[in-house]
Amino acid sequence: MPARTRRGEVGVVDLARELGVSTATVSRALNGSAQVRPELARRIRDHARDRGYVANRHARALSSNSSRAFVGFVIPYVDTPAYSAVAAQCARLLSADGTQMILTITENDPRRELDQIRDLVATRVAGMVVSPSTGILAGTRELLRELPVVQFHRSCGIDAPGVYSDDTALGDAVTRLVDLGHRRIGYIGPSRAISNGAARLAAVRDGAAAAGLDPDSLAVRLLEPATDQGAGAVRELLHRADRPTALVVGGGTLSLAVARAVRASGLRLPGDLSLVVYGDPAWFALHDPPLSVVSIDYPELARRAARLLLDRIGGDSSGDVLLTSELHIGGSTGPPPPGA
């Protein structure tokens, strides 16, 4: 044991002794209980500050079996801003509330997910934001039932509100492409096993239907998110005899991979192929021409998640939040090539 022995920490007992009052009074004063003579309360608080008193959160959490001292944030992946940046943003917002955020990564592994969520429960977190893994276990659902939970990006069918992106902009993209004259449109997106994968595919199909194109005519390739197998899908799609004249991508990591593969294919945008990707327009604007992008406001997503969680911990039972995605038209969308 590397022994951080007893440091010279001051505790409530010290404060109480030094002020000639009881620990109960100190505690009350420090927690703003109205039932302490204001004058005394102020003296206690001042003294606490002077002595550099910092309450031990474990003792506090242990004693008052409820506190919003900690919350959990559970995400599957680390290497996409859709998760890690939103998590960080959320930590920022929660800290304003004096709440510490414990971040855990499941790597989309149901087993780890269960372990981590169990550990969070063991920490008596006041609640948690969770982006469920694809094959969430029954035991995990069970655990989640026991405390305030907010789902995020993905839903796993438990009775908890969530913050999701409404990906209709993907549908708008398809509609727009059809309007431009495209008939053979490819879609590469995350697996439908993930709730948002399913939602995005649905949006794309709806967009086609809305423009009068048979959704079943779409060339669809669904992949695990956060893999760069997008390249393979692109090559496959573009080497068909009736290759699509337009491609829509429904995921951030996939989009990067697809953009690179398309670039490698030598096709001209938008002359030979139209392309709409998913993610941060600022980055995709590096491309020449700037890519048309479906984007979602991550900071806002984080804000809503944080607020929803705090509401829920506070007992308010709010409903889902659906954040509208936006279609930014760049230079990569145009009419299909004449011969097509």
Q: Which residues would be at the binding site for its own copies (CB under 8 A)?
A: 1-7, 54-59, 61-62, 64-66, 69-70, 73, 75, 78-79, 81, 83-85, 87-89, 91-92, 95, 98, 100-105, 107, 112, 116, 118-124, 146-148, 256, 259-260, 263, 282-288, 299, 313-315
* Residue among 50 and 214 whose Cβ is closer to its own copies: 50
Pick one of 65, 96, 241, 286: the residue that binds DNA (CB under 7 A).
65
Q: C-beta of 78: minimal distance to DNA in Å?
A: 30
Pick one of 46, 59, 97, 268: the residue that binds DNA (CB under 7 A).
59
- Work out whether the CA dihedral 242, 243, 246, 248 comes out positive or negative: positive
List own/partner pairs for 259-266 with CB under 8 A and 24 or more apart. Answer: 259/284, 259/287, 259/291, 260/231, 261/230, 261/231, 261/234, 261/235, 262/234, 262/238, 263/287, 264/231, 265/234, 265/235, 265/238
What is the rounded distance in angstroms from the CA atom of residue 114 to the CA atom of residue 155? 16
* Residue among 109 and 166 whose Cβ is closer to its own copies: 109
Total binding residues toward DNA, as defined by CB under 7 A: 31
Residue 288 contact, options its own copies, DNA, none, Cβ 5-8 Å cut-off depending on partner type: its own copies
Amino acid 65 reads N
What is the rounded distance in angstroms from the CA atom of residue 148 to the CA atom of residue 121? 11
Helix, strand or coil for residue 248? strand
CA atoms within 13 A on the CB side of 94: 29
What is the footprint of DNA within residues 14-43 (CB under 7 A)? Answer: 20-28, 30-31, 35-37, 40-41
- Residues making contact with DNA (CB under 7 A): 1, 6, 9, 11-13, 20-28, 30-31, 35-37, 40-41, 53, 55-56, 59-60, 62-65
